[in-house]
Amino acid sequence: MIETDDLEKKLGITFKDKDYLLQALTHRSYLNENPSFRLGHNERLEFLGDAVLELVVTAALYKKYPEKPEGELTSLRAALVNGDTLAQAAGEIGLNDFMLLSRGEKKDTGRARSYILANAYEAFVGALYLDQGHKSCEEFIAKTILVKVDEVVEHKLWKDPKSMLQEEAQEQEGVTPTYRVLGESGPDHEKLFEVGVFLGKEQVGRGNGLSKQEAEEKAAEAAIEKRGWK
């Protein structure tokens, strides 16, 4: 069993109900190997945290950029709350060292682990909301996610790969990219998708992800790099 005291000290946050924090760190796979564990997995907390995160980030962007239109604010928010950003934030605050995982999941350090960490970040936000309310969540998200907004704006990271590819493909080659699922593998709850992106009949990139959207974004990134548009 993990001890959460070190994580709380690192974050400067003390939970009144430690079970909220412990459950936020509990992945479904851990319960498969430890069915007698007294708490559930973190997916319900993730569901709650996702909503809290989106509200906090939306309000912060609305206040910070009064001149930006709705479409650009939406893209900015998407860049701040996507899986890669959340996984990075989770790693920076050390959630990876405290996760309750199955033996198999502990060995995986690739995309699947990033997906787990992104979900754990959202679950942590959900746990914090239940334990301490909206204000504490605002402060935590400001320190871990909103600090990245200036970099996102400066480097135009808010333009997601699919949008960038479509703009460049239409401008440079007069064609709109199309996406096709090339294959699926893995269990239903963690299915891995492989997607190809095509300009006309030419496949210009492929990518893997734990959702079709993620795989499409990776394929678009590969296509942008292949064409030298990045």
User: Tokens in use for 128?
Assistant: 């914090």
**151 carries an active-site annotation:** no
**Cβ atoms within 10 Å, residue 190:** 15
User: Tokens in use for 36?
Assistant: 């007698």
Q: Among residues 5, 6, 43, 50, which one is catalytic? A: 50
Q: Among residues 46, 105, 122, 221, which one is catalytic? A: 122
Contacts of 63 (CB under 8 A, 6+ apart): none
**184 carries an active-site annotation:** no
User: Tokens in use for 23?
Assistant: 């459950």
Distances from the Cα of 151 to the Cα of 29, 67, 79, 103, angstroms = 35, 18, 11, 37
| Cβ proximity of 182 and 198 under 8 Å | no
Q: How far apart are CA 217 and CA 229, in angstroms?
A: 15
DSSP secondary structure code for residue 26 in this structure: B
Q: How far is CA 187 from the centre of its chain?
A: 20
Hey, is 195 helix, strand or coil?
strand
Q: Hunting for tokens 């401008």 — which residue is that?
A: 171
Tell me which residues are annotated as active site.
50, 122
